[in-house]
A = this chain, B = another copy of it.
Amino acid sequence: MILALAGGVGGAKLAHGLARNIDPSELVIAVNTGDDFLHLDYFICPDLDSVLYKLAGINDIERGWGIRDESWNFMESLKKVGGEDWFQLGDKDLATHIERSRLLSEGQTLSEVTRALCRKHNVVHTIVPMTDHRVGTIVDTQEGDFFFQDYFVRLRCEPAFTGVHYKGMEDATPSPQFSKALESADLKAIIFCPSNPFVSIDPILNVPGVTGALRTTETPVIAVSPIIGGQAIKGPAAKMMAELDLPVSPLGIAQHYGGLIDGLIIDNEDRMLVGPIMATGIDAYATNTLMRSAEDESLLAQETLSFVRGLSGNRP
């Protein structure tokens, strides 16, 4: 059994690579839900959707989010009648939010709804929300605190980042399948996908019980660095690291996850950092981590699984 923690696009890519190499019964992908929000009365789960669309093979590659061959007639008409147009919703994508909201309003949990949506899209691997509770990631900045979508979409990540806190997290518990995977005697690896550490992976780690489980497990915990050559492939991770005075490199990732991870996979471009990372007590391995194709995703997944097999599973 492999447990992958994933945020949006970068996480979805490695999750897809893992799914191509692991039997459906042996992979659980636990996805960040701290960005979820109500919009136009619908419940939108950006990261769950990114992973769902990616595994369903219907994701838009160029745009990096949403569904491919999308149309925007709803959005254009909504703009015309003066509706809320700050969050882009494609015509096809909207159906996911509307059906999810209907199922939630019938009393299904987000786990159940996600399973139903996966089934409809013929996704056979297990995608689960980090929690079935409603939680929200609040981004703290030098200009105040903002709900994630405000910071990300409306403010374009411009205010200087100082940290995050969460709304509703104290009462949350890991979703049943996430919890079961964490406790599984067969768990062979916990993999942090190359998602934003602060707003994608940390929310998952902050679901009560998760960090404790990671600190005590014998199972190897590894991360794949979302930073390559001082830059994030997508999103504000590099900017956030700089604003937190962390080295904008895999070394900063190692520092951030220090005490939780046994190993870190970094890009060949950063291979000179293998030594410095090892010196912090974290095993490191350099390979190609830039995923431009399904082939790249699959190869990185194979390298990741092979790296895990080489780790003892005991913390230094």
Contacts and interface: CB of A to CB of B under 8 A. Distances in A.
Contacts of A75: 95
Interface in A65-115: 67, 70-71, 73-78, 80-84, 90-96, 98-99, 101-102, 105
A102 B67 CA distance: 26
Contact of A82 (B78, B99, B101, B105): B99
A89 to B, nearest CB: 9
A98 B120 contact: no
A282 B120 CA distance: 60
B95 A94 contact: no
A78 B42 CA distance: 14
A121 interface: yes
Nearest to A105: B41
Contact of A73 (B78, B83, B91): B91
A40 interface: yes
Nearest to A119: B82
A99 B81 contact: yes
A74 B102 CA distance: 15
Copies in the complex: 2
Given A73-B91, A117-B81, A41 B101 contact: yes
Nearest to A42: B41
A74 B94 contact: yes
A113 to B, nearest CB: 10
A74 B101 contact: no
A116 interface: yes
Given A41-B41, A91-B91, A98 B73 contact: no
Contact of A95 (B67, B80, B93, B120): B80
B102 A84 contact: yes
Contact of A120 (B67, B82, B102): B82
Contacts of A84: 102
Given A77-B92, A91-B77, A91-B91, A83 B98 contact: yes
Contacts of A116: 81-82
Contacts of A90: 73
Contacts of A120: 80-82
A94 B95 CA distance: 11
Given A67-B77, A75-B95, 8 more contacts: A41-B101, A71-B91, A78-B98, A80-B95, A81-B96, A81-B116, A81-B121, A94-B94
